[in-house]
Amino acid sequence: MAEIRLENVTITYHPSGLRFFPAGGRARRTYGDYADKTLVDRVASRETATPTGEGPVKALDDLTLTVRDGETLAIVGPSGCGKSTLLKVVAGLEEPESGRVLYDGRDMSGVKPGDRGIGMVFQSYALYPHMKGEGNLGFFFKIRRRPSEEMMERIKITAEIMGLGFDELLPRAPRTLSGGQQQRVAIGRCIVRDPSLFLFDEPLSNLDAKLRARTRVELKRLLRRFHITSIYVTHDQTEAITLGDRIAVMREGKIEQVGTYQELHDQPANAFVAGFVGLPPMNLVEGWEVLPGGRLRSALGELALPHDLAARVAVGQRLTLGFRSEAGQVSEVAPEGDTPEHLVFTGRVLNAEPDYAHGQQTLNLEVGERVLAIQAPVSLAANSGWTVHVSLPVSSIYFFDQDNEKRLWP
């Protein structure tokens, strides 16, 4: 086990796939890049290694992150935010142009990936197709010329750890295995090495829903048993919630917030985290202007600001309002009279997503040019095209600064 820390790590790419090192004026290909040699030579010869056309993109932008000893940190974020690049840096497959990667305080600069004690599971399984399951598990020992007795003992122990039916996969070639079986072998290949760090790069995304759920349970069992430091990259929030002790939300090469799912859900640091975390995520409505007297106004209506927030905002300031789908109360009849403690608005039902197990349905409402998600009892008849009224308590609303997206209240 180990504590992993990234300190001020930066990696820059050109859209062509070239890596740039402005200080040294160098450029080189990255893993999986197929840029032609002419472009490589042209960029490498330039003093600053800055290409014409589109500017460079920072896959990791002065990123600092700590993964505690023995914890599983799930990393989520939109496509292209730098999740997989972060894994490559930790594994040693990518060299940061600035910053450090530390394993238990030890700087890993110059330490080869094979010497870092990591086990990595990929989205595409990455099994050796010409080897059977046992050969895939034993390859680590063969290339290091370990004794056959040690190899077979480790494979036997790993098969027991992996559980029922894993023995049956060892004499079979990868092409004869299902996706879920191949991923089990890939996970077993990591475990057999007895690593101090697990790295998972969206390992379940190629599986169907049933296999994904079953493999997720098995992974959770293994992670709890080993208590090995793990970094789990995924785009699936259910996986992040199930497997991660903490969750890190990434955007454009930066970590926006780290915490438990409940912390991210209830106390989002900014509007991006609020609009990303949650099933469904928080509704966000921009364009609210602060008026004199502690009131807000937008095309959606007017409402009074909470007293402690009204004292901290300026007249004319633009805010974004956020609320969870379960916060609103839906009715077919408009509420009567003035309701200063509630925001009331009207929407047209686009569709309904029923959840009969919990007696709820999620209504997707068209409100002006926005689509907002609101929960309602399944007993409420709300067919497509119908008009419904939503009453939202001000106490359940989140307020964010529209310019910098920071949460202002609560």
Decide: pTM greater than 0.95.
Answer: no
Q: What is the pLDDT of residues 203-216, one digit of tens each?
A: 888 888 888 888 88
Give the number of other Cβ atoms within 10 Å of residue 27's Cβ. Answer: 24
DSSP 223-290: HHHH--EEEEE-S-HHHHHHH-SEEEEEETTEEEEEE-HHHHHHS-SBHHHHHHSBTTBPEEEEEEEE
Instruction: With a cut of 50, say whether residue 170 has pLDDT above it.
Output: yes
Give the number of other Cβ atoms within 10 Å of residue 133's Cβ. Answer: 27
Give the number of other Cβ atoms within 10 Å of residue 346's Cβ. Answer: 14
User: Phi/psi at 108 (nearest 5 deg)?
Assistant: -95, 10
Note whether 243 and 217 are within 8 A (CB): no
Rounded to 5 degrees, what angle do the CA atoms 29, 35, 37 make?
Answer: 85
Q: Which of 190, 237, 185, 180 is nearest to 212 (CA)?
A: 180
Largest CA distance in the chain: 83
Is residue 369 classed as helix, strand or coil in its secondary structure? Answer: coil
The DSSP bridge partners found for residue 121 are 200
Q: Which of 114, 7, 76 is nearest to 265 (CA)?
A: 76
Q: Which of 167, 146, 168 is nearest to 156 (CA)?
A: 167
Note whether 331 and 388 are within 8 A (CB): yes
Mean pLDDT of 291-300: 89
pLDDT of residue 292: 92
State the Cα–Cα distance between residues 1 and 115, nearest whole angstrom: 15
Q: What percent of the chain has pLDDT over 90?
A: 55
Tell me the Cα Rg of the chain. Answer: 26
Which domains are seen in the chain, by residue range?
1-108+240-265 (3.40.50.300), 271-409 (2.40.50.140)
385-399 in b/e form (b: 16+ CB < 10 A) is eeebbbbbebeebbb
The strand order across the sheet containing 254-259 reads 118-121, 197-201, 229-233, 72-76, 246-251, 254-259
Q: What is the pLDDT of residues 325-357, one digit of tens each?
A: 999 899 888 776 556 678 889 999 999 999 998
Q: Is the peptide bond preceding residue 203 cis, with omega within 30 degrees of 0?
A: no
Confidence of residue 14 (pLDDT cuts 50, 70, 90): confident
State the Cα–Cα distance between residues 346 and 337, nearest whole angstrom: 15
- Ranked by mean pLDDT, the top range of 107-111, 134-138, 161-165, 256-260 is 256-260
Q: What is the pLDDT of residues 246-291, one digit of tens each?
A: 999 999 999 999 999 999 999 999 999 999 999 889 999 999 999 9
- One-letter identity of residue 121: V
State the Cα–Cα distance between residues 3 and 312, nearest whole angstrom: 40
